[in-house]
Amino acid sequence: MMKKILVFFIIIVFFGCDNSEENKDLCSYYNTTVMFSVLNSEHEDLLNPENLTHLDVSKIKLFNVINGKTVEFYDPNLDSPRNFKILKYDYDDVYHITISLNDIDKSAKTKTYIQWNEKDTDTLESTFNKTKCSTITNQVWLNGKLVWDYKMDDKDYPIIIK
Protein backbone atom coordinates (compact mmCIF):
# COMPACT_ATOMS: atom_id res chain seq x y z
CA MET A 1 0.00 0.00 0.00
CA MET A 2 2.85 2.38 0.84
CA LYS A 3 4.40 1.81 -2.61
CA LYS A 4 1.11 2.69 -4.31
CA ILE A 5 0.89 5.97 -2.38
CA LEU A 6 4.51 6.80 -3.23
CA VAL A 7 3.96 6.03 -6.94
CA PHE A 8 0.78 8.14 -6.89
CA PHE A 9 2.65 11.18 -5.48
CA ILE A 10 5.53 10.74 -7.94
CA ILE A 11 3.04 10.74 -10.82
CA ILE A 12 1.34 13.88 -9.48
CA VAL A 13 4.69 15.68 -9.11
CA PHE A 14 5.84 14.55 -12.55
CA PHE A 15 2.70 15.76 -14.31
CA GLY A 16 2.48 18.86 -12.12
CA CYS A 17 5.76 20.20 -13.50
CA ASP A 18 5.22 22.43 -16.49
CA ASN A 19 7.95 23.95 -18.61
CA SER A 20 5.62 26.07 -20.75
CA GLU A 21 6.19 29.75 -21.46
CA GLU A 22 2.92 30.84 -19.87
CA ASN A 23 4.26 30.32 -16.33
CA LYS A 24 7.19 32.65 -16.91
CA ASP A 25 4.84 35.65 -16.59
CA LEU A 26 4.66 35.06 -12.84
CA CYS A 27 8.03 36.70 -12.20
CA SER A 28 8.16 40.35 -11.18
CA TYR A 29 10.54 42.97 -9.83
CA TYR A 30 9.36 46.54 -9.58
CA ASN A 31 11.51 49.45 -8.39
CA THR A 32 10.71 52.87 -9.78
CA THR A 33 11.99 55.00 -6.92
CA VAL A 34 14.80 57.45 -6.37
CA MET A 35 16.11 58.72 -3.04
CA PHE A 36 17.39 62.25 -2.28
CA SER A 37 18.57 64.19 0.70
CA VAL A 38 17.52 67.84 0.81
CA LEU A 39 19.86 70.41 2.35
CA ASN A 40 20.06 74.18 2.45
CA SER A 41 23.15 76.19 1.49
CA GLU A 42 24.50 75.77 5.06
CA HIS A 43 24.13 71.97 4.66
CA GLU A 44 21.32 71.77 7.20
CA ASP A 45 18.96 68.86 6.68
CA LEU A 46 15.64 70.29 5.46
CA LEU A 47 13.85 66.96 5.95
CA ASN A 48 14.80 66.69 9.63
CA PRO A 49 11.72 67.74 11.62
CA GLU A 50 13.97 68.94 14.47
CA ASN A 51 15.60 71.51 12.19
CA LEU A 52 13.91 74.90 12.61
CA THR A 53 14.08 75.55 8.85
CA HIS A 54 12.79 72.11 7.81
CA LEU A 55 10.39 71.72 4.91
CA ASP A 56 6.71 71.36 5.74
CA VAL A 57 6.18 67.78 4.55
CA SER A 58 2.40 68.29 4.42
CA LYS A 59 2.91 70.78 1.55
CA ILE A 60 5.00 68.44 -0.63
CA LYS A 61 3.10 67.19 -3.68
CA LEU A 62 4.06 65.13 -6.70
CA PHE A 63 2.69 65.69 -10.18
CA ASN A 64 3.15 63.30 -13.11
CA VAL A 65 2.98 64.30 -16.75
CA ILE A 66 0.79 61.65 -18.39
CA ASN A 67 -0.04 61.92 -22.09
CA GLY A 68 0.98 65.58 -22.02
CA LYS A 69 -1.21 66.49 -19.03
CA THR A 70 0.08 67.30 -15.54
CA VAL A 71 -1.77 65.22 -12.93
CA GLU A 72 -1.36 65.45 -9.16
CA PHE A 73 -0.62 62.09 -7.54
CA TYR A 74 -2.79 61.28 -4.57
CA ASP A 75 -4.13 57.86 -3.61
CA PRO A 76 -5.50 57.65 -0.04
CA ASN A 77 -5.45 53.84 -0.20
CA LEU A 78 -1.63 53.69 -0.31
CA ASP A 79 0.76 53.68 2.64
CA SER A 80 2.28 56.79 1.04
CA PRO A 81 -0.74 58.55 -0.49
CA ARG A 82 1.39 61.30 -2.04
CA ASN A 83 3.86 58.75 -3.48
CA PHE A 84 6.87 59.68 -1.32
CA LYS A 85 8.32 58.71 2.05
CA ILE A 86 10.65 60.53 4.43
CA LEU A 87 13.11 58.10 6.04
CA LYS A 88 16.26 58.13 8.15
CA TYR A 89 18.70 55.25 7.89
CA ASP A 90 21.17 54.12 10.54
CA TYR A 91 24.08 54.43 8.14
CA ASP A 92 23.53 58.14 7.49
CA ASP A 93 23.09 61.34 9.50
CA VAL A 94 20.47 62.92 7.26
CA TYR A 95 16.87 62.20 6.35
CA HIS A 96 15.96 61.11 2.83
CA ILE A 97 12.95 61.47 0.63
CA THR A 98 12.16 58.41 -1.46
CA ILE A 99 10.03 59.31 -4.46
CA SER A 100 8.10 56.93 -6.67
CA LEU A 101 8.75 58.14 -10.19
CA ASN A 102 6.29 58.43 -13.05
CA ASP A 103 6.24 55.02 -14.71
CA ILE A 104 2.62 55.44 -15.83
CA ASP A 105 3.36 57.56 -18.90
CA LYS A 106 4.57 55.53 -21.87
CA SER A 107 7.15 58.12 -23.03
CA ALA A 108 10.79 57.07 -23.29
CA LYS A 109 11.60 59.71 -20.65
CA THR A 110 8.88 60.46 -18.11
CA LYS A 111 8.42 63.62 -16.05
CA THR A 112 7.53 64.15 -12.38
CA TYR A 113 7.28 67.51 -10.64
CA ILE A 114 8.11 67.82 -6.93
CA GLN A 115 6.23 70.77 -5.53
CA TRP A 116 7.97 71.50 -2.22
CA ASN A 117 5.54 74.35 -1.48
CA GLU A 118 3.46 76.87 -3.43
CA LYS A 119 6.59 78.71 -4.65
CA ASP A 120 9.23 75.99 -5.21
CA THR A 121 9.04 73.13 -7.72
CA ASP A 122 11.73 70.83 -9.13
CA THR A 123 11.51 68.66 -12.24
CA LEU A 124 12.49 64.99 -12.29
CA GLU A 125 12.85 63.16 -15.59
CA SER A 126 13.41 59.43 -15.59
CA THR A 127 13.95 56.44 -17.82
CA PHE A 128 13.20 52.84 -16.95
CA ASN A 129 14.49 49.45 -17.97
CA LYS A 130 11.29 47.51 -18.66
CA THR A 131 11.21 43.80 -19.38
CA LYS A 132 8.43 41.25 -19.36
CA CYS A 133 9.14 40.57 -15.68
CA SER A 134 10.46 43.85 -14.28
CA THR A 135 10.49 47.63 -14.29
CA ILE A 136 13.59 49.27 -12.85
CA THR A 137 14.69 52.91 -12.68
CA ASN A 138 17.49 53.42 -15.19
CA GLN A 139 18.40 57.13 -15.00
CA VAL A 140 17.09 60.24 -13.25
CA TRP A 141 17.59 63.91 -14.13
CA LEU A 142 16.92 66.76 -11.70
CA ASN A 143 16.13 70.05 -13.44
CA GLY A 144 17.87 68.80 -16.59
CA LYS A 145 21.03 67.47 -14.89
CA LEU A 146 21.71 63.70 -14.69
CA VAL A 147 21.86 62.93 -10.95
CA TRP A 148 21.32 59.19 -10.72
CA ASP A 149 22.18 56.14 -12.82
CA TYR A 150 21.43 52.46 -12.13
CA LYS A 151 25.18 51.75 -12.02
CA MET A 152 25.55 53.86 -8.87
CA ASP A 153 25.79 52.33 -5.42
CA ASP A 154 22.49 52.42 -3.50
CA LYS A 155 24.10 54.69 -0.92
CA ASP A 156 25.23 57.18 -3.61
CA TYR A 157 22.08 59.24 -3.65
CA PRO A 158 21.69 62.76 -5.03
CA ILE A 159 21.52 65.81 -2.79
CA ILE A 160 19.10 68.64 -3.53
CA ILE A 161 20.26 72.05 -2.32
CA LYS A 162 17.43 74.49 -1.53
Amino acid at 127: T
d(CA 63, CA 72) in angstroms, rounded, equals 4
Sign, CA torsion 66/124/157/151:
positive
17 falls within a domain: no
How many residues are recorded in the chain? 162
Question: Which pLDDT value is given to residue 120?
Answer: 96
13 falls within a domain: no
56 falls within a domain: yes
Average pLDDT over residues 127-155: 88
Is the model's pLDDT at 21 over the cut of 60? no
12 falls within a domain: no
Number of domains in the chain: 1
26 falls within a domain: no
83 falls within a domain: yes
Is the model's pLDDT at 17 over the cut of 60? no
Segments forming the whole domain that contains residue 58: 34-161
Question: Which pLDDT value is given to residue 4?
Answer: 62
7 falls within a domain: no
> Residue 158 in contact with residue 148, Cβ under 8 Å?
yes
